[in-house]
Amino acid sequence: MATTGVGTTLIPDSTTLSGLRAEVRAFLDEAIATGRFVPGVDTWLGGYDPQLTAALAERGWLGMTIPVEYGGHGRTFMERFVVTEELLAAGAPVSAHWIADRQAAPSLLQYGTEAQKQRYLPRITRGELFWAIGMSEPDSGSDLASVRTRGERVEGGWRITGTKVWTSGAHHAHAFFALVRTAPLDPEHRHAGLSRFIVELDSPGVEIRPILSMDGSHHFNEVHLDDVFVADDLVVGAIGDGWAQVTSELSYERSGPERFLSTYRLLAALTERGLGGAETGAYVARLTALHHMSTAVAGGLQQHADVSSAAAVVKVLGTALEGDIADLADRLTEDDPGDGELQDLVRRAVYHRPGFTLRGGTNEVLLGVIARELGLR
């Protein structure tokens, strides 16, 4: 089966970009044809395949924007965008490295010490080091300033105690940035007193407990930190600077093409089977517009521009589209479920649908961000 890449005719790729796109697509077509992976839905979060990650690393498609002096490839955000779009369009299982490559690496580059960059970035590029996100807690999601995980100063470092939740892929990851309260909450300055630490997940006192999803799959976890010692050299940036760091990291988390391509394989499966007619066509049109908007965001990252509100717009519209594709496919296959491949894609899309508009910041919260940017409140 040929992958239906998003850039076939619509993207004004430069020659370099279209050459790269063709190269990635050929690799993925071959991987699918030889049964190396089965294209899926939402595989950037739940599709763990360290061998595929290693194969992508070998071709130079991880750590693309990491500078050469830190073991990376020193390429552009646009080049990375093209590669990630093709991986998503192919429904490839890329969750092993996704968070490390997408947000841990840029965050380390921006805030990490020289030693931290040297220690982690080459291994991220080689596809050997996986990362998770240690932000949410049982009573803190949208309102991250209310996190209760606390850090206490001790000789040579910090002792961290608390619980993180919904930690995607923590059971495979080597480390995460933990957002931690290091000074008591001041109601007047709620964003002050927060810090970030690199917690290596095999440290004594770390316990990772699985949370199973509705379909029985395991990608979520609860991560308990019980008096975990983190040495001073794993503090990220300055103590008390956690809020600025976390909002910057969220820009990388929210801005990518995974915010509109999670159910791309399902839309492709509908078009390949001629299902849905004009209705499916309307969804392809929405997807095309999002592709152009997301390309513009990648261009902004390239210029080191603040893309947070543009990324929020893409994420709100894109995640709504992802869910609408799941609903459309569910409806179209109600009376005739179709072949096994289609059934599997529909089933996974329907199960994963609730998460699309929640993860990385809910759409309601992002609408607030957009409204503030427009001066509406």
Ligand X SMILES: Cc1cc2nc3c(=O)[nH]c(=O)nc-3n(C[C@H](O)[C@H](O)[C@H](O)COP(=O)(O)OP(=O)(O)OC[C@H]3O[C@@H](n4cnc5c(N)ncnc54)[C@H](O)[C@@H]3O)c2cc1C
Contacts with 119 (C-beta within 8 Å, 6 or more apart), sequence order:
none
Distance CA 17, CA 50 (A): 26
Name the catalytic one among 253, 258, 272, 364: 253
Query: Quick one: which segment of 15-23, 193-201, 340-348, 353-361 binds ligand X (CB under 6 A)?
Result: 353-361
Residues in binding contact with ligand X, number by CB under 6 A = 17
Minimum separation from the CB atom of position 42 to ligand X (A): 8
Does 196 help bind ligand X (rule: CB under 6 A)? no
Does 320 help bind ligand X (rule: CB under 6 A)? no
Q: Active-site residue 253, yes or no? A: yes
> Which C-beta is closer to ligand X: that of 90 or that of 135?
135
Region 163-192 residues binding ligand X, contact defined as CB under 6 A: 166-168
CA dihedral 50→54→57→59, nearest 10 degrees, is -130
Query: Quick one: which segment of 160-168, 189-197, 274-282, 340-348 binds ligand X (CB under 6 A)?
Result: 160-168
> Which C-beta is closer to ligand X: that of 140 or that of 333?
140
Residue 38, both tokens: 């089965």
Minimum separation from the CB atom of position 177 to ligand X (A): 10
Phi-psi map region of 121: left, alpha, beta (phi>0 left; psi -120 to 50 alpha): alpha
Look-up: residue for tokens 């990608």? 219
Distance CA 4, CA 267 (A): 10
Query: Quick one: which segment of 74-82, 100-108, 161-169, 302-310 binds ligand X (CB under 6 A)?
Result: 161-169
Phi-psi map region of 11: left, alpha, beta (phi>0 left; psi -120 to 50 alpha): beta
> Which C-beta is closer to ligand X: that of 86 or that of 249?
249
Minimum separation from the CB atom of position 199 to ligand X (A): 13
Note whether 181 and 147 are within 8 A (CB). Answer: yes
Does 228 help bind ligand X (rule: CB under 6 A)? no
Query: Quick one: which segment of 105-113, 201-209, 317-325, 361-369 binds ligand X (CB under 6 A)?
Result: 361-369
Identify the residue among 79, 314, 359, 369 touching ligand X (CB under 6 A).
Answer: 359
Does 368 help bind ligand X (rule: CB under 6 A)? yes
Phi-psi map region of 132: left, alpha, beta (phi>0 left; psi -120 to 50 alpha): beta
Query: Quick one: which segment of 6-14, 65-73, 338-346, 351-359 binds ligand X (CB under 6 A)?
Result: 351-359
Contacts with 17 (C-beta within 8 Å, 6 or more apart), sequence order:
11, 78, 79, 82
Residues 110-139, one symbol each (x = binds ligand X by CB under 6 A, - = not), give: ----------------------xx-xx---
Distance CA 354, CA 294 (A): 22
Does 242 help bind ligand X (rule: CB under 6 A)? no
Does 41 help bind ligand X (rule: CB under 6 A)? no
**Bridge partners of residue 163, in order along the sequence:** 224
Does 364 help bind ligand X (rule: CB under 6 A)? yes
Note whether 322 and 260 are within 8 A (CB). Answer: yes
Determine the straight-line distance between the first and last CA of the chain, rounded to whole angstroms: 49
Distance CA 231, CA 299 (A): 37
> Which C-beta is closer to ligand X: that of 276 or that of 355?
355
Catalytic residues: 253
Which residues are at the interface with ligand X (CB under 6 A)? 132-133, 135-136, 141-142, 166-168, 355, 358-359, 361-362, 364-365, 368
